[in-house]
Structure 1
Amino acid sequence: MDDKVIVDNVSVRSVMTKSTLPVGGFSVNPYVGCPHACKYCYASFMKRFTGHTELWGTFLDVKHWEPIKNPHKYDGQRVVIGSVTDGYNPYEEKYCNTRRLLEELRGSTAEIMICTKSDLVLRDIDLLRQFPKVTVSWSVNTLDEQFRADMDKAVSIERRLKAMEQVYRSGIRTVCFVSPIFPGITDVMAIIERVKDFADLVWLENLNLRGQFKGTIMNYIREKHPELVDLYEEIYNRKINDYWQMLEKTTAEYAALHGYPYRVNDLPYGRSEKGKPVIVNYFYHEKIKRG
């Protein structure tokens, strides 16, 4: 845990929020803020609604909510844990908010979907296996640990991949969330090849630069990858989508060549044949259209 992170406590009536995300259901964030401090994090907009003025990644509010008295209220509902925080950030080891949530939902038929960059989720395999439908998704947008370290303070890519494999082998559905894809940096096919034997689904999402972090990322590209400046200017300032259309075409051809099921803007549920993960093209932020 980072001593520089300001930790506070907040009381809320309920931790369950009806989701507006494409995956639907309920969105659950057991914390406000996230110490992973991802430089590209869209969730930094949450500062506007919480009164925080600190830099994103330097504060964490631990939520305290009234216990869920009727877990069956969520039977058959998708419950997404970690849409604007990571429920398994390092402080979860101490505060156990995500584990408490799972314990309160135990006995329901809620479909649990966890989005994380952590291997702490391994602690809760015992609980997760008690739900009829569970998906654990790890964000992996590079195999380069230096680039990862430049972008976030979460655990290493290798630790994420080892956790993914262990969860997969425990019988729980896994997703490799290749997001955000950095043009010219993220090697999509290399990641798929690395995870194909322990990922049921590979979900591809493009980098969408907006808000306060756009300048941060553009400055990073200028400093560390000057050879990509023209490409990023083309995509993010001139709004030319040729790169994404090319990547979409290349990915579809790659999937066909290797016999990987390929979907566009879809999130099918189920386990995949080992070595044949479903590849989902989710380039919806820039409104990419096929063909």
Structure 2
Amino acid sequence: MNADAIKVREIQVKSILSTSNLPVADYSVNPYVGCPHACKYCYASFMKRFTGHPEPWGTFLDVKYWPEIRNPGKYAGKQLFIGSVTDPYGPQEEVYKRTRALLEQLQGSGAEISIATKSDLVLRDLDLIKTFPHARVSWSVNTLDERFQADMDMAVSISRRLAAMKAFHEAGIRTTCFISPIFPGITDIPAIVEQAEDKCNLIWLENLNLRGSYKSVILEYINKRYPHLVPLYREIYQKGSRGYWEGLDAAIRQLAEKRGLPYLRNDDSMHRPFNEPPVIVNYFYHEQIKRSAMKKGALPNPPPPAAASSY
């Protein structure tokens, strides 16, 4: 599917900022409804329940227009998460520029922005983003295999995402490599860390959590393209085993130690000197794994609640 195949409509909304219950933000900001990347694993597809769209997720996009933000200074020091259920830099942003309009309206407000994307179109706004205090931009990178990426989403290539990450990091803007979702037996975390560690301040890990309508889609894909992994996926997603994640946790801990990277349960990367090595933060730590690891003495204290996913 190309960008021209997306059904686009323009809509008026009362406000573009929504109070967020995410632990990582005070406000959630989404300049669009829907997302043209059409990720097969997209949790945000639940949004269809609230929009009335009969079309499949990934085939429609509502372009939001809102009244000029009044008194933007009231958002000084507030954390705004841009892109919780859409990509603010999908291909249509090049035409409609709603994300850029948002940034221009908030420029000088003192708001602290965090942007989640799979695009390199964000490079267009690098100079503008740089004017915001404590700005951070994250890219989803869960594979270095461009074929697998193309199977999973319609976003730009992994190489383009990494190049954009590097450009922002070199410009002094904090960046995140969001390794999510981690596909068991497919996502090569050590290889991604090696590629990203000199381009980011944070490496954020999250597991593939199959639920809703896309569970059958992913399992069917695994059966077709990776039949040797079917027993593993059955063990994890049908029998509920946490063994794979326990083993992966231990392996990542060893990887972090080998590469001299902090491996934590909470994100303190914003408080570290910019040029320090990136922090690896694990957000796939399920309750069952916590208890298991604590019994084994792997965790001195219970970790804090996990942060919410990117879009």
| Length-normalised TM-score, structure 2 | 0.90
CA distance in 1, matches of 2:110, 2:289: 35
> How many angstroms does 1:265 deviate by?
4.0
CA distance in 2, matches of 1:97, 1:124: 12
Query: Aligned runs of 1:179-198 on 2, under 5 Å?
Result: 179-198=180-199
- Secondary structure of the residue that 1:133 maps to in structure 2? coil
Matched, 1:214 2:218: no
Number of equivalenced pairs? 291
> How many angstroms does 1:287 deviate by?
5.8
- Secondary structure of the residue that 2:5 maps to in structure 1? coil
Residue matched to 1:87 = 88
CA distance in 1, matches of 2:104, 2:115: 15
Residue matched to 1:27 = 28
CA distance in 2, matches of 1:112, 1:118: 17
Q: 1:192 to 1:275 in 2, by over 3 A?
A: farther
CA distance in 2, matches of 1:148, 1:235: 22
> How many angstroms does 1:217 deviate by?
0.1
Superposition RMSD on alpha carbons, in Å? 1.4
2:241 counterpart letter in structure 1 = I
Matched, 1:104 2:80: no
Superposed CA offset, 1:227-255 (max 9, x none): 00011011111111000011111111211
1:160 counterpart letter in structure 2 = R
CA distance in 2, matches of 1:96, 1:287: 44
> How many angstroms does 1:272 deviate by?
5.3
2:260 counterpart letter in structure 1 = G
5+ long unaligned stretches in structure 2: 295-311
CA distance in 2, matches of 1:2, 1:131: 30
1:111 counterpart letter in structure 2 = E
CA contact (8 A) 1:196 1:275 kept: no
CA contact (8 A) 2:3 2:92 kept: no
| Length-normalised TM-score, structure 1 | 0.97
Superposed CA offset, 1:96-152 (max 9, x none): 010011111111111110000000000001111111110000000000000000000
Matched, 1:49 2:50: yes
Matched, 1:281 2:272: no
CA distance in 2, matches of 1:273, 1:151: 33
> How many angstroms does 1:69 deviate by?
1.3
Matched, 1:131 2:118: no
- Secondary structure of the residue that 1:3 maps to in structure 2? helix
What fraction of aligned residue pairs are identical, expressed as a percent? 59
> How many angstroms does 1:274 deviate by?
4.6
Residue matched to 1:78 = 79
Residue matched to 2:175 = 174
Residue matched to 1:252 = 253
1:276 counterpart letter in structure 2 = P
> How many angstroms does 1:9 deviate by?
1.1
5+ long unaligned stretches in structure 1: none
